[in-house]
Amino acid sequence: MATTGPPTRNPHAGVPFTDDDTTIAAMLEDVSVPALMCAMVHVTGDPEWVRGDIRPQGLFLNEYQGYMPEEMKAEARRRAAAALARFRDGGCALPPPPAPAVLHEMMTYLACADVDPAVVPMFVTDLNLDGADAYAITWGADLPAEVAADAPVVVIGAGEAGLLAGIRLREAGLPFTIVEKNAGPGGTWFENRYPGARVDVGSHFYCYSFEPADHWTEYFSRQPELQEYFERVMDRHDLRAHTRFGTEVTACTWDDGAGRWVVEVRTLDGGTDTLDARFVISCVGSLNRAKWPDIPGLADFAGPVFHSSAWDHSVDHRGTRFALIGAGASGFQIAPTIADEVAHLTVFQRTAQWMFPNPNYHLPVPAGDTWAMRHVPFYGRWFRFLTFYPGSGLSIENSRVDPGYDDGGRAVSAGNEITRQLFTAWIESQVGDDPDLLAKVLPDYPATGKRTLQDNGSWLTCLQKPNVDLVRTGIERIVPDGVVTTDGVHHPADVVCLATGFRHTEFLWPMEVRGRAGRRLHDVWGDRPAAHLGITVPDFPNLFCVYGPGTNLAHGGSLIFQSECQVNYVMDAIGRTLGGGHRVVEVTRAAHDAYVDRYRTEIAQMVWAHPSVTHSHYKNARGEVWTVSPWPIPNYWTWTRSADPGDLAFA
């Protein structure tokens, strides 16, 4: 008689534990009490944990304790410790899961406000409380073997999106090859190894929704840990055997007669090869092609010159006169990290950056929080919700320009002015009595109009060090021994680092992509790249873009969450194609154009497109935005839940 093993434990239900009462109490000193209270509903089966007087007093991004008074947190921990001891003594057996109405109540508890029932399904899907992967592909088992075998897929890029695409293709049982120009996975986190590189979305949300997140050692992880994470994901899902590293896609050409793509690749040694693909999924991202500034004399500099995304670790920057050109997201992290190591640091910044306070930005995850993530059932899930919800972009209205509001370009609405005042107060609180520095670091454009940076005080503290100068004067030229600004001042330098960003508006560059009738995708796009949902383009069948035009997030969420939405859509479109006996799928011109028209209308009303915002990597040379999503995140999640057959043409 056949036997079966014990049922697989829900990966989010926690690893059973035998720790003594003293250890449990000590571990709970480190946890987020609001998330703990929700976890206790799962542990005990009693929703009264979120119905009493112990509750968060407010919600703000990266505030994990809900502004609870200390005595309230202490009482919550005391009660939870006793309940967890009983749970331990009972063999860590869970009661039935909370009902949907109770889950909604728990969300409202953490949000400190009613959570719109319309967005609850998005959060329930992201939480994966049943232990199943909500986005897992199941249709592959229904495909005839010969159909699957005749549908090879090429995935371009092995960053977070490319790995995700590989996971889903493997579930579908389709043959696939991931082509990655670097020597390992991780995309931007493989390349950007500069000192201080770290994510600016909470680690416990900046990860795939279908796996536990009990491994992070910092609340905002640095590059080495992120790179290790993607390495583990690749190996856990057996993707390495499907990946060609050190190989770059140079061209994709559509063969209309065959209904397939011819994908040309080049290896590091200059060798070339051709891959056959029924479908191509581009996961190249838009922050992986360095933008080098056009500064006269750059080639004449006598010392090392490198871009921040290709940091030269063979150069010992300690004790040098270091010129950092650019102080956006990368420079903002580099400067505080190296300031105490160099003899002198000169930071050249064209535009001041808005920032908002985040005291957790450099904090390690304490032992107790890691213990709870690993052992307390569903604690990690509710911590994820607490990280996600305050920045979930439920509304876009805070980013919308009020056409009747005019204060000379300082703000775009009354609400935006409040944000400006909050951000200004944070900056002023750190600068102190230094009007010259304040004039340099206080932006003169609307708050959130560019990428808003997170700060725990390190940036402005760095700028006040005696060996650090912030230069806002434009650069005239670079000379062999330094940088000359337009006021004629010579700034000596031994090393130059270009933290000057990426070719963000040049999607899929430098690949040559030709669709029907040999049409070049870059000719179709020009400097106004557009795609239906940022994913599909007419006349380019069976081609899908992840992190394509108009999908960058500037108002909430995370790019991994966004990728999960987009890859879900892509896989549904592929499944409908193959399951319907078709070879080709293509967005209709009508659906594409209607979407793009809506996009143009909406994005033009947002703060990122405001004319007072200049030198923005979101904008093209015309001052238009084709990079950023103007949609509330729940809207986009809903649109990508499945591919609408009415928007697609099959053949």
Q: Helix 33-44 and helix 100-111: axis angle, to 10°?
A: 160
Question: 523 and 635, same structural domain?
Answer: yes
Q: Is residue 348 part of a domain?
A: yes
Q: Is 46 in the same domain as 124? A: yes
Whether residues 528 and 629 share a domain: the answer is yes
Q: Give residues with Cβ within 8 angstroms of 551, minimum separation 6.
A: 533, 534, 535, 562, 566, 629
User: What percent of the chain shows pLDDT beyond 90?
Assistant: 95
Residues 495-507: tens digit of each pLDDT: 999 999 988 888 9
Contact 310, 290 (CB under 8 A): yes
232 lies in the same domain as 165: yes
381 and 128 Cβ atoms separated by less than 8 Å: yes
State pLDDT tens for residues 471-483: 999 999 999 999 9
pLDDT band for position 3 (cuts 50, 70, 90): very low
pLDDT tier at 5 (50, 70, 90 boundaries)?
Answer: very low
pLDDT of residue 145: 97
Same domain membership, residue 510 and residue 492: no
Which has more confidence, 407 or 485?
485
Q: For Cα atoms 488, 493, 498, give the angle at the middle one, nearest 5 degrees.
A: 95
Local structure of 321: helix, strand or coil: strand
Q: How many domains does the chain have?
A: 3
Contacts of 294 (CB under 8 A, 6+ apart): none
Residue 236 belongs to domain with CATH number = 3.50.50.60
Nearest to 243 by CA among 254, 230, 256, 253: 230
Question: Looking at 459, 476, 498, which one is the last position of a domain?
Answer: 498
pLDDT digits (tens, 9 = 90+) for 515-574: 999 999 999 999 999 999 999 999 999 999 999 999 999 999 999 999 999 999 999 999
Q: What is the mean pLDDT of the chain?
A: 96
**Cα(328)–Cα(320) distance, integer angstroms:** 22
Q: Which of 563, 559, 536 is nearest to 549 (CA)?
A: 536
**Digit-coded pLDDT (tens) for 284-321:** 988 788 989 999 999 999 999 999 999 999 999 999 99
* Last residue of one domain, picked from the residues 453, 480, 498: 498
In degrees, rounded to 5, the angle at the alpha carbon of residue 158 between the alpha carbons of residues 155 and 161 is 80
pTM value is 0.96
Q: Which of 452, 481, 498 is the last residue of a domain?
A: 498
274 and 316 both lie in a single domain: no
In a domain, 5, yes or no: no
pLDDT at residue number 406: 85
Q: Which domain holds residue 436?
A: 298-361+405-498
For residue 304, is it within any domain? yes
Closest CA to 30 of 327, 264, 335, 370: 370
* Nearest Cα residue to 475 out of 650, 609, 348: 348
User: What's the pLDDT score for residue 4?
Assistant: 47
Phi–psi pair at 465, nearest 5 degrees: -70, 150
Exposed (0-12), middle (13-18) or buried (19+): which is 629, by Cβ within 10 Å? buried
In a domain, 230, yes or no: yes
Whether the ω angle into residue 510 lies within 30 degrees of 0, i.e. cis, is yes
As given in the structure block, the two tokens for residue 45 are: 């089966």
- In this predicted model, what pLDDT tens digit does every residue of 52-71 receive, in sequence order? 999 999 999 999 999 999 99
Residue 397 lies in a domain: no
